[in-house]
Every structure is written in structure tokens, then in C-alpha cells.
Structure 1
Amino acid sequence: MPLILSNLAQFAIHITDTIMLGWYDVTALAASTIAGTMFFITFIVGAGFAQAVTPLVAAAAEENDDVQVRRVTRMGLWLSVFYGVAITIPFFWTEKILIAIGQDPAVAELAQIYLWIAIWQMVPALIVMVLKSFLAALEHTAIILWATGGAAVLNIFVNYALIFGNWGAPELGIRGAAIASLSVTAISVLILLIYTLRRLPQYQLFRNIWRSDRDVMARVFRVGWPIGLTSLAEGGLFSAAAVMMGWIGPIPLAAHGIAIQLSGLTFMVHIGFSQAATVRAGRALGRKDELALRRGGKTAIAMSACYALATSVVFVVFAEQLVGLFIDPDEPQRAALLEVGVSLIILSAVFQLVDGLQVMALGLLRGVQDTAVPMIMASFSYWGIGLPCSYVLAFPLGFGPAGLWAGLVVGLALAAVTLSWRFWGYAVYRATA
């Protein structure tokens, strides 16, 4: 539960930006959608190294190997920082890149303004991910919730001040949203560092922080890079969808941003279940306990499926009300945004079911440190099947935004089936042999 709530709190930071920028200006909303997508897909690649820390630390902790816990976490931090520094360079040409791929020049200009500030958030955000993975693997999840929840609340107040110019602050619009996100990420790093040093001194986490450990680094890299590329494949699928939606027009792109935010909000619960499944699978792996691995997998998938069914019903029944939350009642283009947004929200009801199942399978596979083959399966499902279906349905067949989202559902459904087969048909036996 703390993992689920902390994921919701983390997402609240992003959804706050979307809601407030939607109230501020539709063009700013479209720009934050495309800019946020670009930031996210680069971030999740580096986050693969952080996510590799969870199963490796969980297995080491089950074996009472405190030294290995420290080494794995330290090398996860190294790899994350190296990646975070290197990936910032292309973002200084955001506007030119977006115009080259067919985005509206006004949207591209605002997106560049946002990213020139937000990019400095990359390294701190990756450090936060490593520390959260370390703490989750050791089942210290309450601090993750409190730190992330506090950051989400602070983000609301900073956004309100800087986007609109309230409480004597300057009106910075999209710049204010970027500054708010950067500030709360820096504060999150400090909170998690202080907690780790004070509550878990036995691991001496930052002892010899500059000392390299090639074997452990190689292991973290070997488990982490497929996780990062799998996340890139999925995140890239949604980024490509955002680009194609931009080809249709600013209104569909803004509606897509709203639908993605709502789907992403509910998806955070599935992520929490998946993270818990990774920890339990990692500990079962450390004990070579096949029964615990099977029971944990069945329980996590069943809980995720029940939640997906419930949220699907809510999306269908309250589609118009949910979309309306993101749009100023006096916005001249409100009716057009509602029409497109409602159709996408109804499709996302089906989306919830397949997306939840595929992320649960990925979490269980990561727990048993099986990441390379699942990366291939997921990437083919997303890009070999899902994206072509989206393009064909949206453009040649003329179904527009709804067709684009239907293609995403097809790709995620194939991923859910193949990844589930990989876990139950192969990984369980291999992990406990």
C-alpha cells in the first residue's frame, strides 16, 4: 500500500502540472504534454539501473549479505548519474527536434522553454529512483510514501504561485511548472538521503562511494539495461502516439495529454503492485522457494485485475466529468476537447485491463532477474504490432484519435499474453531450479 500511494503521489506532481497548465493556456498544456513525454522516455531508460537495484538488493538481503546490498546500490547510483549527465545534451535542441518531426512551432517553442529548466531535474530524479528501489527492497516503504506525498503537496503550492503569479510571485506560466518540479525533486533527494543514513546505518550505504566494483556494476548493468530499454519501448510507444496525435492537431494532442494523465494516474496502482511483486519474487528467489514465488505471482495479478475492472467501470460511467476536470470552464475550445477526450477515456477502460496484466508480468520477471528476453517480447508487441496498428487505424482507415488509441490496446494485449507465458511457462522453473 505505501508503494501504491507513493506512486500516486509521484504522479500527482505531474498531473498537477497538467491541470494547472490546462487552466492557464491550451497551448501550454499541449507543450507540456510533448515536453513531458520527451523527458519521461529518456528518464525511464536510466531508471532501468535503479529498478535493477530492487531484485538484486532483495535477493542479497534474504541471504543477509549487507556488503552486497551496499555494493549493488552504490553501482546503481554510479550508472544512474553517468546516464543522467550524458542524456541532458540533446535537450538543448528541443525546439528544432520537435519542428523537424512535424509539431506546431508555437508548441515546440514552449516545450523547449519547459525542458531547458526541467532537464536539470534528471540526475536528482534518477538518484531518488535508486534510493526508493533500495528502500523498497528492504521493505522500508513508509518513508517513500511520506517523502513523495510531501513533495506532491509542495508542488501544488509552488505551481499555484509560479504559474499564475499568485502570492506576489512572478507569473511564469510553463516556466513556473518546470521550476516547481525541479524544486520538489531536489527536496525528495535530501529527505531520502537523511532517512537512509539515520535509519539504516548498518548498510553504510555511502561508505567508499567513489570505489568502483566492476563485477557488481556489470551485474546491475546486465539486469538494468533491458529494463530501461523495455521501459523505453513502452514509453516510446506513447511518445510516438503523441507525435502522431500532434499531426492530427493541437486539440487532439491536448485531449491525448488529458487521457494519458488519467490512465497514468490509475496505472500507478498497478505499478505499486508490480513493485511489491518484484520484491517478493526477489526474496523468493534468494530462498529458492517456488511455492512462495507462485503464490506471490497469483496474488499480485489477481489484485491488479480486480482494480483494473473497477477503474474501467469508472472511466466509462464518468468519462465526461473526468475530462472536464482538466479544462477551464471558460475555455473557448472546451467542447472540442471534451468530444475527443471522452472517446479516448472510454477506450482507456479496455486499456487498463491489458496494461495492468503486462506490467505485473514484467514486475515478476524482474524479481527473478529475467529481463533480456522479456525486453524482446515487449518491444515487438509495442513497436512491431501496436504502433503499426495505431497508424493504420488512425490515418489510412480514418478512425483518427480513437483509432490511434485502439492500436495501443492491441500492442499492450499482445505484451500481456507473451510476458505472462514467459513467467509461468519458463521463469518460475528456472529461478527455483
Structure 2
Amino acid sequence: MTTSTLTIIKKTWQLAFALSLSRLFNMITGFVGTLMIARLGHNVLAASALISSTQATLFLISISMLFSIGVVIGHAYGGKRYEEIGSVFQQGLLLATLICIPVIIIQCNIGSILIACGQNPQVAAINAHYFRAYSFAIPAFLWMISCQQFVLAVNKQRFVLFMSVVTLIISVTLSYSLVYGHFGLPRLGVTGLALAYSIQGWAALLAYLAFCYWNKEFKEYKLFQWRFRQNFHLLKKIFSIGWPITLQFAGDLLSFFVTTLMIGWLGTNELAAQQIVTQYFLLLVVPIFAISQASAILVGQARGAGAIHEIKRYGSTTLLIGLTFSLIAITLFIFFPHTLIRLYLGQGQELNLTMQHLASIIFILTGLRLFFDAALEIKTGSLRGLYDTKFPMVTGLILTWLITIPLCYLFGFYYHWGLIGITSASIVGTILAATIIYIRWLWQCNKFINT
């Protein structure tokens, strides 16, 4: 093993590990907040399900376009076009500002939207109070994500990890104080959680801006020498790379919703079994998404530097790390499904033997899906580093809506295979998508090497 290979592995691992831990801390922040408001009463418990799902959907869709900032800055950083880094940074903040507008409008009208969708008026009212207060957090979070993408693209991932720990502490402390009225603060209930997130978001944004402003290594980037008007072409570039990512995210979230509806048609037992497996799956997908983002940044840096052969090596290294992680997860799913079920349900709750057996089978199938999903997500990230975002988006939408969703219905209901059939159909779709995206990655690598 050569020194350069060791360097590539070390660099890849450091970025992927920092991103994975950062995403994990963010998940813990959201989980603790939801747990706090869920204890305020039955109506709030019901509303918390809508709050968490709506917030996650809006947040993921809105920030997905901003992932392109890290890719474009990574190109400039690899090519040592340092002043361009500052220009992309500023245009990224402008794009985040534009994204804020529709998100805030939706959140301020969420009560009416939920009532129009047939939700309970009391539950809709609780959501309306929450999202009106949470609207103050949106500019802070989107601007912070823009700053975060810059920091990651110039290999300062330790600061991102540090800030994730700090914001977790701030968020939990403020949430506890404002939701329940401790430490001399008013008891605000659900609104208190939204205000806690808002304060946390603005504090984190100020910390990121201070880090960017006072870090001596960033002086040559001219981050705060305003030149918006001269660089609108970079805004167009960020948007052109980012909108397919957003559409792909939206398509994936919608397909997840439709699949969940189908499982709900099967009955509450199947839905309960799927819920247990899904929670573990979503937890384990977090590191895979982080590795995918790391792949996009590192491949982008290599392309910007003109290090053509390193493009393939970074892509292979991130894939190896992701698949190794997924194999560990598969081992847990295959050999310890009953332990995972008991951990999720806790004391005093049990599935009947039939549902335990079903959940165990779904764990094994989901582990298989996770392996191919890791390959799919990481290679999609690698392609983003080459500015190739439209092909994965089109491939994903076609396979999801023309093959996977129809197969889910066919296997689940026409052939009466139930939850096992729906899960198997998802595996088929994931394998097809992973194969096509991997072939696309090899083709793109060979194209860059040959030209």
C-alpha cells in the first residue's frame, strides 16, 4: 500500500467520520425535542408526528439544493482558484435567502394546509403555532448550511463536528427550559421548542460567520468582500447543479410516503413491523448519506485540481467505506433481529410471534437493500462531484415511479405477498438503480481519464 493511498484513505475517513457524527448529533437534537413535546398531552403527541414529518420533509428538500455549494467550492479549492471560493460562498448565501421565501410562506400557512388535507383542527392548530415560531429559524438554518458547505469543502470538518456538539447542548438546554418553563423561563409548550430551535440556529450561524471571518487561512478567499453583481453566473451554476438533487430528494421522500401508505393498507400489524425496521434503517442511512456527501466533495476537489486518476480512487475509497459499514449493519439485522425489536419496543410491549417472525424477515431483506442503497447513494454523491446530477435524478425518478412503485403494488397485493413483497420490490428497484449509477460512474471516470 503506497503512501498516497494511505493519504487518500485517511482524508476520506476523516471527512466521512466527521460528517456522520455531525448528522447523528443533529438527529439526536430532533429526537429529544420531539420526545419533550410528546409528553405535553395526547393532542400534542398526535401533533408531534405531523410536526416531525413536516419539518423533516421541508428541511431536507430546502437544504438539498445547497449541497451543490460544497461541490462547486470543492472544485475551486482543488484548482486553487481561491478568490472564486469567496464568490461561490456569497452566491450560496444569496441562493439560501431565495429558498427561505417559499419555505416560510408554507410554514406560516401550515394550519390551513393541514385542515385542507383532512387533519384534526386541534392538531392543525398546534402545528400552526409551532411552525409560525419556527419560521424565524429558517433563514438562520439555511445560511448556516451554506457556511457549513464552505467549511467542509476547504477541509475544516472538525469545526462542523464541534458545532454539532455545541448546538446539541444549546438545543436540549433551551428546549427543556422553554417547553416546561424551567430556570425562570416561561412555560411555552410546543412554541417553546420552536423558539429554542430558532435561538440555536441564530447562535450557530453567528458562530459560523465568526469562524469564517476571523480564520486567517480564509483571508485569501475574500469571503466578505461583497461582489454579488459580478458573479451571478456562479448562482446559476450552483442552481443548475442543485435543482436535480432537490427533485431527486423530493421524489424519494414522496415514494417513501406512498410505500408507507401501501403498507398501511395491509393492516396495523404490518405497519408496526415496518415502523420498527424503518427506524433502524433511517438511523443507519445517516452515515451513508454523510459518506456520499464526502465523496461529492473529495471527487470535486480532485477534479478541480486536475488530478484525474485520484477521482476514481476517491470514488472507490468512499464506496469501500460505505459497503463495509453496510455489511456490519447487515450482520446485526440477520443475527440479532429479535434483540433489535426488544430494544425498540422497550419493557412491557411485545409483538405477537407472527409479527416478530415477519419483522425478522423484513430486517434481513432491509439489510440486503441497505447494501445496494449504500452503493447507490455513494456513487450518486461521486457523480455530483463531477457535476453530473441530472442523470441520477432522471434515473431515480424513472425507476422509482415506473418500476419500483408498480412492483410494490404487484408483489404486495396482486400476488398477495404482503409486506415481504413490498420490501422485495424495493430491493429490486434499488439493485437496478445502483447498477445503472455504478456503470454511469465508470463511464464518467473513463471519459475524464481519456480526455
Q: Same fold (TM over 0.5)?
A: yes
> How far is 1:370 from its partner?
0.8
SS of corresponding position for 2:198 = helix
Q: Match for 2:64: what amino acid? A: G
Does residue 357 in structure 1 map to residue 375 in structure 2? yes
> How far is 1:60 from its partner?
1.0
> How far is 1:179 from its partner?
3.7
Does residue 11 in structure 1 map to residue 27 in structure 2? yes
> How far is 1:408 from its partner?
3.7
Does residue 155 in structure 1 map to residue 177 in structure 2? no
Which of 269, 272, 286 is 1:268 aligned to?
Answer: 286
Partner of 1:305: 323
Which of 391, 413, 417 is 1:373 aligned to?
Answer: 391
Partner of 1:198: 214
Could you tell me how far apart the structure 2 residues matched to 1:337 and 1:176 are?
Answer: 39
Distance 1:31 1:224, change over 3 A: same
Distance 1:245 1:140, change over 3 A: same
Partner of 1:56: 72
> How far is 1:311 from its partner?
1.5
Q: Match for 1:304: what amino acid? A: G
Does residue 277 in structure 1 map to residue 281 in structure 2? no
1:130-209 alignment to 2 at 5 Å? 130-163=146-179, 174-199=190-215, 200-208=218-226
Structure 1 range deviating more: 386-395 or 47-56: 386-395
* 5+ residue gaps, structure 1: none
Which of 418, 431, 434 is 1:416 aligned to?
Answer: 434
> How far is 1:221 from its partner?
1.3
Distance 1:198 1:178, change over 3 A: same
SS of corresponding position for 1:302 = helix
Structure 1 range deviating more: 235-244 or 103-112: 103-112
Aligned residue-pair number: 430
Deviations 1:142-195 (A, max 9, x none): 000000122123333334445556666666554444444333222221221111
Distance 1:174 1:404, change over 3 A: farther
Could you tell me how far apart the structure 1 residues matched to 2:290 and 2:212 are?
Answer: 21
Distance 1:315 1:122, change over 3 A: farther
Does residue 94 in structure 1 map to residue 110 in structure 2? yes
Could you tell me how far apart the structure 2 residues matched to 1:424 and 1:246 are?
Answer: 39
Q: Match for 1:16: what amino acid? A: V
Which of 247, 251, 263 is 1:229 aligned to?
Answer: 247
Q: Say whether the 8 Å CA contact 1:18–1:326 is kept in structure 2.
A: no
Q: Match for 1:295: what amino acid? A: R
Distance 1:250 1:143, change over 3 A: farther
> How far is 1:12 from its partner?
1.9
Does residue 36 in structure 1 map to residue 52 in structure 2? yes
> How far is 1:312 from its partner?
2.2
Distance 1:388 1:58, change over 3 A: same
Alignment TM-score, normalising by the size of structure 1: 0.85
> How far is 1:326 from its partner?
5.7
Partner of 1:290: 308
Deviations 1:362-390 (A, max 9, x none): 11001111111111011222333233334
> How far is 1:36 from its partner?
2.9
Could you tell me how far apart the structure 2 residues matched to 1:111 and 1:406 are?
Answer: 36
- Percentage of identical aligned residues: 24
Q: Match for 2:153: what amino acid? A: A
> How far is 1:228 from its partner?
1.5
Deviations 1:278-333 (A, max 9, x none): 12211221133232111111111011001011022224444455455566756xxx
Could you tell me how far apart the structure 2 residues matched to 1:431 and 1:217 are?
Answer: 29
Q: Match for 1:297: what amino acid? A: G
Distance 1:393 1:162, change over 3 A: farther
SS of corresponding position for 1:88 = helix
Structure index of larger Rg: 2
Q: Say whether the 8 Å CA contact 1:284–1:292 is kept in structure 2.
A: yes
SS of corresponding position for 1:207 = coil
Could you tell me how far apart the structure 2 residues matched to 1:315 and 1:360 are?
Answer: 21
Could you tell me how far apart the structure 2 residues matched to 1:347 and 1:33 are?
Answer: 27
> How far is 1:117 from its partner?
3.4
Q: Match for 1:220: what amino acid? A: I
Q: Match for 2:110: what amino acid? A: T
Could you tell me how far apart the structure 2 residues matched to 1:163 and 1:327 are?
Answer: 26
Distance 1:432 1:28, change over 3 A: farther
* 5+ residue gaps, structure 2: 1-16
Could you tell me how far apart the structure 1 residues matched to 2:119 and 2:263 are?
Answer: 10
